[in-house]
Each structure stands twice: as structure tokens, then as C-alpha cells.
Amino acid sequence: MIEVNLPNHHYKIEVQRGLLKSCGQWVANIWRPQRVAIITDETVAELYGEDVADNLVDHGFDITMLVVPPGEESKSLEKATYLYDALADNDFTRSDGVIALGGGVIGDLAGFVASTYMRGIHFLQIPTTLLAQVDSSIGGKTAVNTKKAKNLVGTFAQPDGVLIDPNVLNTLEIRRVREGIAEIIKSAAIADKDLWNYLGTLKNEKDLLNHAEEVIHASLNVKRRVVEEDVFDHGSRLTLNFGHTIGHAIEKTSGYGVISHGEGVSLGMVMISNRAEAFNQSPKGVTEDLIKMLERFNLPTSISLDRDMIYEAITHDKKARGNTIKIILLKKIGQAKIVDIPIETIKDYIIEEEV
Ligand SMILES: NC(=O)c1ccc[n+]([C@@H]2O[C@H](COP(=O)([O-])OP(=O)(O)OC[C@H]3O[C@@H](n4cnc5c(N)ncnc54)[C@H](O)[C@@H]3O)[C@@H](O)[C@H]2O)c1
Ligand SMILES: O=C(O)C(=O)C[C@@H](O)[C@H](O)[C@H](O)COP(=O)(O)O
Ligand SMILES: [Zn+2]
């Protein structure tokens, strides 16, 4: 069990194989019996929806299932509006709660809806992808995308608890497993050399899944430490955005969901490090180390893209302030730094041709 201690909030993350089957008891330890909306997507609903709902009913909860289509396109204001209406139609009040059951899309969307419906109702996270289990379910960033940019509209809102059952990863497609690994590699690269070295002992994605509990714990601890230090993203938390400036822009310009979040982060980490190395802002060899680690888990490391389109998307990045933007670079493997540059200069970090 991991505890997250924030200035005005404290919650527990439980990581245990098979825990989903007894989630009713876990929820009952946090909430008294009440109305609960399970927000999920069609794929996850089919696989785990009934088990979770039945278990909660057995513990006295009154369940409403709210299901959206799977995929990044559901992280939208349109789906948020659908969910607000559904909560109101089912008479949800501020003493009721939301459970986000799914990947990062569901976590971000359900967290956003819970934190804005009636100015905020309680929510829990039950992440079902590796990415959500190691990154998005903790830390309290919620968001939806707009036509202009990824995660343009969102809140900081912490869950009352996070339940992680690594067994659910058995049904995950391998491409989805890789996406989670991209965020794990990011966490190791910015703040945990031991985790980096450990990842280097694993053969591939399947081998990593065999060691899921250790890897999930280590990644969560990186994120927990960073979030506890800077919950509102004013300073050190920005390092969790390594690879995301260009990554988010790639996701947006490819059409949400075509290049996934994890793939964008993988490409973004390589691109920014490659240029930083050329400009003597990161040490020689760091990009090659990153590429080797990403390739070990079959993540993409190069792409052809349109610099102007990527630049336009980056101008809406939340790390921009006036005419400058903060970028995240590696000081070395296991340590990151935040560098302020004029926003136009980001063009020098965007490589158009496949490398
Ligand atoms: N809030 C944060 O701190 C944070 C951090 C990282 C990423 N994110 C966001 O997370 C999103 C990406 O999350 P994701 O990669 O989990 O994508 P996702 O939620 O779209 O899930 C990927 C796919 O896996 C399916 N799925 C989920 N669980 C499954 C299971 N156990 N078995 C079989 N299929 C399953 C889903 O239906 C979906 O089709 C992005 O929008 C990204 O911006 C947020
Ligand atoms: O929690 C954070 O802080 C992160 O930056 C984690 C990222 O992996 C995640 O993708 C996050 O949603 C990005 O946030 P944003 O502020 O760039 O929208
Ligand atoms: Zn991310």
C-alpha cells in the first residue's frame, strides 16, 4: 500500500492481484453506502463492469453504470456534458460518488466530471490499463481535450482512493501495455536510476508484465514523491511532463487516438533529447540510452512530421507563459531539469524527417 500525503488531502493506493473481485469491501472502507456512478468505457464495461457493479451492490451501494465509447475521442466536453446530464437524471447529489473504472481516458474524463459536477463530488480511481496504474490514476490531474490542444480544459482534483489490480492487465492488448511502459521509462529517466537499471534487466513487454507489481510500485513512488512536493504543477512536477510537449502535439495533430499518448511520449522524449544533446543541454549518449530502452519494449522512436503543425499545437501547451515555454530535459538518466526558452525556439527541437 502507498499513501499519498498532500497539504489538504490524504489517500491510499492499494496494489494487489485479485483485488477487483473484492472491490465492494474496499469501497465500503472509504465511503458509506450511497449512490455511485461507475464511469467506464464499452470495452472495460464488457470485461469487468458487471463484477464491479455486483460487488458494490452486495455492499449496499446503489449503482448507475455510465458507459462511453473506448478511446481518446471520448475525452471531450461533449462526453462530459453527456455524463453531467446522466448524473442529474439519476438525482446525484454532493453526498454521492463517482468511480472511474478504466484507462487514462476514463480516469481523466470521470475525474473531470466528478470535480466539476455540482462544483465537485467525491471520486475513486480503479485504473485498468498499465498506463493508468502507473501514472494517470494518481496525482489528481483531470482533463478533456479540445480541437485546439490536448488536456486544454481540466482541474486538479484528488481521488479518495486508488485500487490497482494488476490481474486486469492480462486482458490488455500489447500495444496498450507498451503505452504504459513509455510512462514508466519517463519516470525512471527523470527521477529513478534504480528503476531505469531494473527495466534494463527485463527482456520485453511480457517480461515486464511478469514483474508488474514491482514496476507499478516503483513508478507510483516516483509520481507520488513529485506530486507531494508540487501538487499544482508550479515547479518540480513539470518534470513529469518530459516528452509531453512534442508528444501531446503529435497526438493532437495525428487526430486524437491515431498516435496514442504513450507513443507520443516515447517519440517526444527521443526528439527533445536528441536536440538538447546537439545543443549541449543534455549529456552525450543520453538519447541513445533512451532509444535503446524504448526499443527494448518495442516503442516508437522516430516519425516524420510537419514542424508548423506541431509548433501551432505547442503554443497551447500549459507550460507556455507569454512568449516563453518551459521544456523538460535530462541532466542525466535519473535526473531532469526545467529550462525556459523563447517559445519560437521550440521549433529547433522539432525534427521533421524520420531519424
Ligand atoms: N491525469 C494524468 O496524470 C495522466 C497521466 C498519463 C496519461 N494521461 C491520459 O491518459 C490517457 C491514455 O490512457 P490509456 O493509455 O489508459 O488509454 P485508454 O483509457 O484509452 O485505454 C486504452 C484502451 O484499453 C482498453 N482497456 C482498458 N482497460 C483494459 C483492460 N484491462 N483489458 C482490455 N482492454 C482495456 C480501453 O477500452 C481502451 O480501448 C491519455 O488521454 C492521457 O492524456 C493522464
Ligand atoms: O501528472 C503529471 O503532472 C504529468 O505530467 C503526468 C503526464 O504523464 C500526463 O500525461 C499528464 O496528463 C500531462 O498533463 P498536462 O499538464 O501536460 O496536460
Ligand atoms: Zn503522460
pLDDT tens digit sequence for 41-57: 999 999 999 999 999 99
- Would the annotation count 322 as a binding residue? no
State the pLDDT confidence band at 352, using cuts at 50, 70 and 90: confident
- Would the annotation count 106 as a binding residue? yes
Pick from 129, 141, 316 the residue to mutate for probing ligand 2's pocket: most ligand atoms within 8 Å of its CB.
141
User: Which is more confidently placed, 180 or 33?
Assistant: 180
Instruction: Give the span between the Cα atoms of 109 and 79, in whole angstroms.
Output: 8
Above pLDDT 70, what percent of the chain? 100
Which residues touch 14 (CB under 8 Å, ≥6 apart)? 1, 26, 161, 162, 163, 164
Residues whose beta carbon lies within 6 Å of some atom of ligand 2: 135, 139, 141, 143, 151, 183, 233, 237, 240-241, 244, 318
What is the CA(70)–ligand 2 centre distance, in A? 20
What is the CA(227)–ligand 2 centre distance, in A? 11
Interval 243-279: pLDDT, tens: 999 999 999 999 988 999 999 999 999 999 999 999 9
Contact 86, 66 (CB under 8 A): yes
- Would the annotation count 122 as a binding residue? no
Closest-CA residue, ligand 2 atom 12, reads 141
- Would the annotation count 60 as a binding residue? no
State the pLDDT confidence band at 353, using cuts at 50, 70 and 90: confident
How confident is the model over 316-335, as a mean pLDDT? 96
Q: What is the CATH number of domain 174-349?
A: 1.20.1090.10
How confident is the model over 215-224, as a mean pLDDT? 98
Instruction: Give the span between the Cα atoms of 45 and 351, in whole angstroms.
Output: 40
How confident is the model over 322-343, as a mean pLDDT? 97
Residues whose beta carbon lies within 6 Å of some atom of ligand 1: 41, 43-44, 47, 70-72, 75, 102-106, 108, 128-129, 131-132, 135-136, 139, 141, 151, 168, 171-172, 176, 179, 183, 261-262
Coil, helix or strand at residue 328? strand
What is the CA(135)–ligand 3 centre distance, in A? 7
Contact 319, 150 (CB under 8 A): no
Above pLDDT 90, what percent of the chain? 97
How confident is the model over 173-180, as a mean pLDDT? 97
State the pLDDT confidence band at 355, using cuts at 50, 70 and 90: low
Closest-CA residue, ligand 2 atom 13, reads 241
- Neighbour order of strands in the sheet with 161-164: 2-6, 9-15, 161-164, 122-127, 97-102, 35-41, 62-68
How confident is the model over 224-244, as a mean pLDDT? 97
- Would the annotation count 348 as a binding residue? no
Q: What is the CATH number of domain 2-171?
A: 3.40.50.1970
How confident is the model over 307-319, as a mean pLDDT? 95
- Would the annotation count 108 as a binding residue? yes
Domain positions in the chain are 2-171, 174-349
